Structure 1
């Protein structure tokens, strides 16, 4: 079996490291190199894995890679995806897919026109407890879903994440897209209205680090999300993902990061949690590779990336207008 050739473009987003680790352990994949204008950022990985380095992503795209993984700043997703599509490379693009409806539509169209697949990086769909919850809901075990309460809290990473020209916003866009993709997937209903509020409450930075997003769906479900960077340094784990799905006949709750070991050590000034559960990034990479090899549609498409991002964009419009926004 021929090895699938995959290149990586940018390590600006922290997910690039876990994707590289997942790829490097596979015998059926050949890494064609890393492209990043910031060589210092990727130098450790170039040395560790003995990979070619490209200062210009166009040089990597000129090679024989079958697919690329894009983990750049959010504002560069469209440029890089379109360039890859024109070189007939399949694309796995970090979330959010883009920062405007127009550029996301251009990304999707470029991939369709060039006969390549565009997958949006939403690894939370591969969490076993999420999959089980979706299946239970589809079996009708809690009756008709009427409401959802969710949290997706994290730490403030800083750097380009705090630069709106590169990120498109703060915690609201960073965390809303993840949960809204899950809700779009689980509920199979269109979001109709968004109301959101945000603030800078935890870090003193000039960007939203706290957000509450409320969404009404066409099937009558109302969802409330805490999308924030409220996990400060002393907290033992830097992010969470919880969801409580309320139905007419019952409730399903899950907490992804409940699979942890508690660590108490004199070398740190706070307790730590060590996660031991399933590696959702590996599961996403596995599926991306399988879809390309088997020539079947990817599970999380560019349209899925679009549908979650427009909710986050509507949340910012609601914050600006101080009222609900219709989609």
Structure 2
């Protein structure tokens, strides 16, 4: 790849292989803050999905949201599990607390509905594999909601790596800090280990973990991790985490995540012939700022803003409509959970843990 030409049409959707008509009707399962503020607007702004049902524990209180987004059907959780009004949607987006992903994703699959499930796919490998099996058995599409895999700056980074623009990747540095209590109360489900499956590692560390696996196009072979909590509202989960991943290529990734630090996110790949640095990749709105050094050439690029949530739903809808297999599939979600479980084991035993 000629670096001077690499930024032409930077935001193109390389995953679009054919023209397709129609939309996928979505039931949004769980209408918490992210679903209300990001997912529903992202779906509405996109091309290949439309929201036709909301699934919530408080249907009466959800009428205002339904009216705002012109959603005709509001369904309770029990009615959803029973298959009531299943004819009003083709697929579901599961945005409930992590430990409940399985019950709703599996119920949807058993009703013949495609599934886009928030990350992590579940709270354990075994429970995530149950989702994968249910979707496979029922012949429906399963996508784990790794929206960064549909985001242009990350997709272009993977292309740079594949094309050897920075030589062989030697080191990856990734970090994501988000002051949780600035945006949520101490009773948030994210601080309940039974609902969340962990703390900063599960909620934030999964971003550099998955993105590193994606751009390197391989899985880690070992992990070493440390966790720390200062008590208080973080007493039951990891408040801070640092973990190192080893890859079969010889590359290592050093990653951090924190629930109680100044908001920050960064990703840097250092290769034998250059490096790539992405500004704020994990914070929800990627500014499309990237610096690429290749040999003696250094390029700074700022692209047009892209709503990665809209990209994610359009990508999912496109895959369903065309029968394509999404890249962030169920196996991708399971692989991250294997690494997360190994990281927690490492933090507890203070030892490096090998991955199968």
TM-score by length of 1: 0.86
Aligned counterpart for 1:21 among listed residues 41, 45, 54: 41
Equivalences for 1:34-45 in 2 at 5 Å? 34-39=54-59, 42-45=62-65
Shift of 1:153: 1.5
Equivalences for 1:4-153 in 2 at 5 Å? 4-12=24-32, 14-15=34-35, 17-26=37-46, 29-39=49-59, 42-51=62-71, 52-56=73-77, 57-58=80-81, 59=83, 62-153=86-177
Q: Note if contact 1:12-1:73 (Cα within 8 Å) is conserved in structure 2.
A: no
Shift of 1:2: 4.6
Q: Note if contact 1:201-1:210 (Cα within 8 Å) is conserved in structure 2.
A: no
Aligned counterpart for 1:161 among listed residues 166, 170, 190: 190
**Could you tell which deviates more after superposition, 179-188 or 289-298?**
179-188
Moved over 4 A (4+): 26-30, 201-204
Number of the residue aligned with 1:193: 222
SS of match in other structure, 2:154: helix
* Structure 2 residue 247 is matched with structure 1 residue 217: yes
What root-mean-square deviation, in Å, do the aligned CA atoms of Structure 1 and Structure 2 show?
2.3
Number of the residue aligned with 1:205: 234
Number of the residue aligned with 1:184: 213
Partner Cα separation in structure 2 for residue 240 and residue 15 of structure 1: 22
Q: Note if contact 2:49-2:314 (Cα within 8 Å) is conserved in structure 1.
A: no
Question: CA-to-partner distance for each residue in 1:31-81, whole Å, 9 max, x for gaps?
Answer: 221111144774541231243211223255633411010000000011111
Shift of 1:4: 2.5
Partner Cα separation in structure 2 for residue 313 and residue 219 of structure 1: 22
Which ranges in structure 2 are unaligned for 5 or more consecutive residues? 1-20, 289-303
C-alpha distance 179-12 of structure 1, shift in aligned 2 (>3 A): same
C-alpha distance 249-15 of structure 1, shift in aligned 2 (>3 A): farther
Equivalences for 1:163-312 in 2 at 5 Å? 163-201=192-230, 205-206=234-235, 207-231=237-261, 239-256=263-280, 259=287, 277-312=305-340
Q: Note if contact 1:148-1:222 (Cα within 8 Å) is conserved in structure 2.
A: yes
C-alpha distance 230-121 of structure 1, shift in aligned 2 (>3 A): same
Shift of 1:150: 0.7
TM-score by length of 2: 0.80
**Could you tell which deviates more after superposition, 71-80 or 299-308?**
299-308
SS of match in other structure, 2:164: coil
Which ranges in structure 1 are unaligned for 5 or more consecutive residues? 233-238, 261-275
Partner Cα separation in structure 1 for residue 36 and residue 209 of structure 2: 22
SS of match in other structure, 2:87: coil
Question: CA-to-partner distance for each residue in 1:255-280, whole Å, 9 max, x for gaps?
Answer: 136739xxxxxxxxxxxxxxx83211
**Could you tell which deviates more after superposition, 68-77 or 208-217?**
208-217
C-alpha distance 3-250 of structure 1, shift in aligned 2 (>3 A): closer
C-alpha distance 28-193 of structure 1, shift in aligned 2 (>3 A): closer
Partner Cα separation in structure 1 for residue 75 and residue 250 of structure 2: 50
